[in-house]
Structure 1
Amino acid sequence: MLEIRPEDWLTRRRLEDSGPMLVFHARDKLATGLARGSFRLLGALADHAVAAGWAAEIVPYARETVDLAVAQGGHLHVVLEDRPVYAPNVFHAVPGYLRGWWYFDELATRNNSSNRLRQFDPRLVAGKFAEGFHARLAEQFIPENFSKFEQLPRGQLSVPPGCLALFAQDFKTPRWHSHYLSVPELIQAAILARGDRPLCIKPHPNNAPEELEWIARQNAPERGVHVTDASIHDLLAACDCALTVTSAVGFEAFLHRKPVVLAGQTDFAQNAITLTDRRRLPEAMAAAMARDWPHEKFVTWFLRQNCVEDHPRALPAVLACIRAKGIRIGADEGFY
């Protein structure tokens, strides 16, 4: 079982004097989960390192500690945090958009991950395999009403068919993110652009009380605007188009085969329309709904080629990433 070290445990002297170490940098919740063995892939990586004679440690995340690790240049550091940092001895690992899939990226996570730089070509993804993979994921998440946050039971609140489904998030742009429209700007633009379609706006569990109050004031059923806490999966099943700034719901919409309009920087924009000018939302929605999106192939490509499954069977893929940085942990088929 991994131990969470004190905040002042990792020092330059320790980095200089210690044998090879695998060091996980994580905040409280992720550190505790890792120490308990809740993350199977990272646990398998730690076991592999220990079996090879390395030490495996967890230290509380702090920017200064990561900077120290980067400056020292040795060992292998896995940072469970969104702050972008590139270094020859650093990887980034956080849970992805669908539970059970993680980032293991040498640049960053989510919107700043290396996925954003990759070109998606659906011709290079096997169609039958993608259909089966997508179907298994859809079966895992949709009938079970499964999402990153707890949802109301399916069918508890009615959702008008053919609606626009807008998913709110924090009004303040998170650090390390880029939003082209604020959440209120997107909502206001959608109210003006909805045409004959009902607009359903779902608040986010993390919205502050004043943000929830602002969203609630937009509720006007007589004008076709509905603020609702209906299940994400009811909204996605009923909508003609999903709208969000950068929420993970944009990715979940691909499980429902729904077109998506984003209003911020993401690493899954290859399969959506990105809006930067709120006056052009009608055009963006029309473009999104007019296209036959390769959702099955995109989800397969994104998860299987750019993320890792939280399972020990994904360890070879992680070791291949580590090997590509020139780091060898024990016996490895890539070295002779």
Structure 2
Amino acid sequence: AWNELIKLAEEMKIPVVTTMMGLGAIPEDHPLSLGMIGMHGKIGANIAISECDALLGIGVRFDDRATGDLRYFAPKADIIHVDIDPVEIGKNVRVAVPVTADAKSALRAILKEAKSNAEIKPNKEWLQKIKELKKKFASKMDYDDIPIKPQRVIKEAMDVLDDDAIIASEVGQCQMWAAHFYDFKKPRTWISSGGLGTMGFGFPSAIGAKVARPESQVVNIAGDGSFLMNSQELATAVENDIPVVNCILNNRYLGMVKQWQDLFYDERRSATDLGQSPDFAELAESYGAYGVRITKPSEIAPGIEEALKSGKPAVLDIVIDPDEQVLPMVPAGGRLDKMIT
């Protein structure tokens, strides 16, 4: 239903935000796109949700990672909730207009009504505010630091990969860095474990995506902890000649848990230091895959390019700053408009 979504947004000049699982439904460089909302969403997107006076939710479940404190979620808005499953409607948020329908059918009906209603006019002040939010809170990604900043890894990947490349992710900081900083241009190019948040999900799902769409570039954005959950699938990828690229953001920690321990538990760390991790590049080579270790920002783009050219399953062991956190962040149970930055 992404074509209908974009047509409706353009016809009525409605700004669009997405949940993590909806990334790619609208190109993130579209003037009306504000990107992802939620715990690790874009600041501008979260502010827009908090200040809007009407909210059309298409196929979303309004989970707590997207909404934050429900008492302050879109407090000024009348919510129209469209979902094919009536059980989802009104389950988590107050709904002014419930619509049980297929997303595409509903969007087509709304678009038809919008085109026939001459009284609908764009809110120029709101659109100007959206433009200002995008500019004010644009992401910084061009870091030259050593150890490497993960934002720089995502930037280099975007510059190298095709717009229709499929990005899978493991779970943890790597997942949120990918979701927040990667500008998805096409639908169905983002595969990640939302809801359950299953560590080890990314690599096997990338293998499946490459089998389904062999003509597409497929890259798994991984953390060292999550990759270790299913690293043995290198054998599967090599045996079946499935050339997916794993970009491991290696900070030697279970990073997301460490971040919570540091922010909310006075830096009392427990069981998050991975100590002596394997050399992931050598591990890949031992399976017959392509492996390389990257320690400088200038090595990232050539590393990805060579991995793609190798025609083999590949692992890039990218050494990143162990103290870098996923920010901005809404604390658990916090308000979307009160983010840690």
TM-score > 0.5, shorter chain as reference: no
Rg larger in 1 or in 2? 1
Give me the TM-score of the superposition, normalised by structure 2.
0.29
